[in-house]
Structure 1
Amino acid sequence: GNPVSAHLAKDAAKESNGEFNSVTDEEILAAQYFLSSKGGIFAEPASCAPLAGLVKLKKLGRLPKGIKVVMVLTGNGLKDPDTAMSQVGRPIEIGDTLAELLEVMKG
């Protein structure tokens, strides 16, 4: 792409001793799944790219210990529910009784 504020991003990275990185679609979807299943936050794939990058840096051993990270996730997962649904199994369907709900919750 051709980001509108690319020069500002480059300046910010240089000023903060940061860097640019890339992630794959698979890494983004894995981050989306992790965020929703472990953090209870359902963000759209584009908003999960920073988390995917963080995970990648951690795996590469390039994340300093004790670092504090803040990520702004502005896109709700409901912007693209089809992508999320393609990554998980079919939802469990039950009737409208408490007994059926309790049965499913028992496992």
Structure 2
Amino acid sequence: MSAYEGLIARYRDWLDLPAGVTPVSLLEGNTPLIRLRNIPRTLGVDADIYVKFEGLNPTGSFKDRGMTAAVSMAVHEGSRAIICAS
């Protein structure tokens, strides 16, 4: 099993990124799916419900996923500075 290299490396074939874009990554993504057991039981439904724990991303935010592509493209296009409103 190879080491995880981040979202762009993993999903590059499905992303609309030009050839030659070098991924800028903090190893975002690859967060676990967690099965919720109490909610279906409380609601009285027979269902398997899962959530993603995005708090395990490098900055603790789901925004890490999109920003890896945005920053990679900015660097590819020669940007010298990047500002992100959060």
Decide: shared fold, TM above 0.5. no
What is the TM-score normalised by the length of structure 1?
Answer: 0.27
Does 1 or 2 have the higher relative contact order (CA < 8 Å, sep 6+)?
Answer: 2
Larger Rg: 1
Q: When you count helix as a share of all residues, which structure comes out higher?
A: 1
What is the TM-score normalised by the length of structure 2?
Answer: 0.31
